[in-house]
A and B are shown apart, each in its own frame.
Chain A
Amino acid sequence: MKIKKGFVLRDVCGEQVIMGEGIGALDFGRLLCLNETAAWIWKQAEKLGDFTIESLAEKLCDEYDVSEEQAKADIAAIVGEWEKVNVIE
């Protein structure tokens, strides 16, 4: 999977927000607020470029004190939400 072209994470008045900016993302028309962990995961996904639930779970385990199983479940939930609102493909 990868983040769709044109979607970026920005700091809006202290909150972490995903928005559509480039060609292909102009019709998004909304702002998606992320909590701290979700924003961290988004940044890892940006760095990886092409990512999987496993590769993100691995990153999460390196950074936070969380079991592999729990990490995969958490990532799958967040990635599922991003898929639903169409910001990744």
Chain B
Amino acid sequence: MGKHFFKVAGHIFSVEICDELLSQMDNYTPFAVNPVDNPIFSLAVQNEQAPRYTEETRQEEENQSIICGKTDDGLAVFDFFLYGKSTGILICSKNFKQANLYLNQDGIFAKEQTDIHSENWQHTRFALNNSLMVLYSLATATLGTVLFHAVGIKYNGRGYLFLGKSGTGKSTHARLWLKYNEGSELFNDDNPVVRLFKNENGTIHAKTYGTPWSGKTPCYKNVEMELGGFTLLSQAPFNKISPLKKISAYAALKTSISGMRWDKNIADGLHQTENGLAANIPVWYLECLPDGGAAKLCRETIVSNE
């Protein structure tokens, strides 16, 4: 077992993991850094049976679900399911700074697993990626940092995030930017990070960052740029874009961030960041067709508006 350190959007965390497993996690390679004394959280991967837990709530989406619960000792538990099968159980310390991920998969360490596309490896990657996303969100909530469910495009040096429920066509719209808006670049396809900063003169600005988490698309870019704005997408038989202000902007942002607010500090921290973003960063609502016209209309509106 070796301890490895990674820096995502300026925050460093550590993962204790065997080399064989680490070699399967190449999405983290661009984020590797030298060891530090105070990572924001530390995860250790265990090949053991997880302690018992009691379910409290669950979040379901398409083929995945997360069951949340408590151990008998009152520690927070996250059980990550893919296609109805448990892939790994994450157990966190009281302050979420230390955690163990129990893989408990028959044979994953016993047998030689050379096929990286095998179901076991797919499950292991799923459990590890989800564990790190949960821990990262919790550890950075009070640091003006938010992990979004969004697709990130870089254009003219700025980052633009597309929001919307799964299946709305965020990725499709981003692909249309690549095709019709010359100079666009995809920097993350599922989970970019946003950080809010206060300038010395009291004004607020935000940056967006690539991460090791990018859904089904391998796009693990360690990049950062000024955040140009958010666009909430909705399917329609026409193309139309309008600004969202105040509460509507807040609502659009909130639905694109994990709903799990584990304690008051975390809930307060996320709310403050969401509120700061809603009040200071442009948020748009794009009703659109999956066509080039939508990508052009969106770019002309959200880029020229600055």
A interface residues with partner B (beta carbon < 8 Å): 8, 10-15, 17, 19-24, 26, 29-31, 33
- Determine if A13 and B250 form an interchain contact, defined as CB atoms under 8 angstroms apart: yes
Considering only CB atoms, which chain A residue lies closest to B258 in the complex?
A: A26
Given A21-B261, A26-B259: 11 more A-B contacts, CB < 8 Å:
A12-B247, A13-B245, A13-B246, A13-B247, A13-B249, A15-B247, A22-B261, A23-B57, A26-B59, A29-B255, A30-B251
- Determine if B57 and A12 form an interchain contact, defined as CB atoms under 8 angstroms apart: no
B278 within 8 A of A: yes
Are A10 and B271 CB-contacts (below 8 A) given A21-B261, A31-B251, A33-B247?
yes
Q: How far is the CB of B280 from chain A (nearest CB, A)?
A: 10
Would you list 25 pairs from A and B whose C-beta atoms are within 8 A, ordered by A residue? A8-B267, A10-B271, A12-B246, A12-B275, A12-B278, A13-B245, A13-B249, A13-B275, A13-B278, A13-B279, A14-B246, A15-B246, A17-B247, A20-B259, A21-B261, A21-B267, A22-B261, A22-B267, A24-B57, A26-B57, A30-B251, A31-B247, A31-B250, A31-B251, A33-B247
Considering residues A8, A22, A29, A31, which has the most beta carbons from chain B within 10 angstroms of its beta carbon? A22
Q: How far is the CA of A13 from the CA of B252 in the complex (A)?
A: 14
B interface residues with partner A (beta carbon < 8 Å): 56-57, 59, 68, 245-247, 249-251, 254-255, 259-261, 267, 271, 275, 278-279
Q: How far is the CB of A63 from chain B (nearest CB, A)?
A: 26
Q: How far is the CA of A26 from the CA of B278 in the complex (A)?
A: 21
Considering only CB atoms, which chain B residue lies closest to A6 in the complex?
A: B261
Q: How far is the CB of B271 from chain A (nearest CB, A)?
A: 6
Q: How far is the CA of A10 from the CA of B278 in the complex (A)?
A: 14
Q: How far is the CA of A11 from the CA of B271 in the complex (A)?
A: 9
Considering only CB atoms, which chain A residue lies closest to B69 in the complex?
A: A23
Considering only CB atoms, which chain B residue lies closest to A17 in the complex?
A: B247
- Determine if A26 and B267 form an interchain contact, defined as CB atoms under 8 angstroms apart: no
3 closest residue pairs by CB, A with B? A13-B246, A21-B261, A26-B259
Considering residues A13, A14, A29, which has the most beta carbons from chain B within 10 angstroms of its beta carbon? A13
- CB-CB < 8 A to B68: which residues of A? 23
Partner among B261, B267, B275 whose Cβ is within 8 Å of the Cβ of A11: B275
Q: How far is the CA of A23 from the CA of B69 in the complex (A)?
A: 10
Q: How far is the CA of A8 from the CA of B275 in the complex (A)?
A: 15
Q: How far is the CB of B80 from chain A (nearest CB, A)?
A: 17
- Determine if A26 and B247 form an interchain contact, defined as CB atoms under 8 angstroms apart: no
Considering only CB atoms, which chain B residue lies closest to A22 in the complex?
A: B261
Q: How far is the CB of A80 from chain B (nearest CB, A)?
A: 23
Q: How far is the CB of A29 from chain B (nearest CB, A)?
A: 8
Q: How far is the CA of A22 from the CA of B264 in the complex (A)?
A: 9
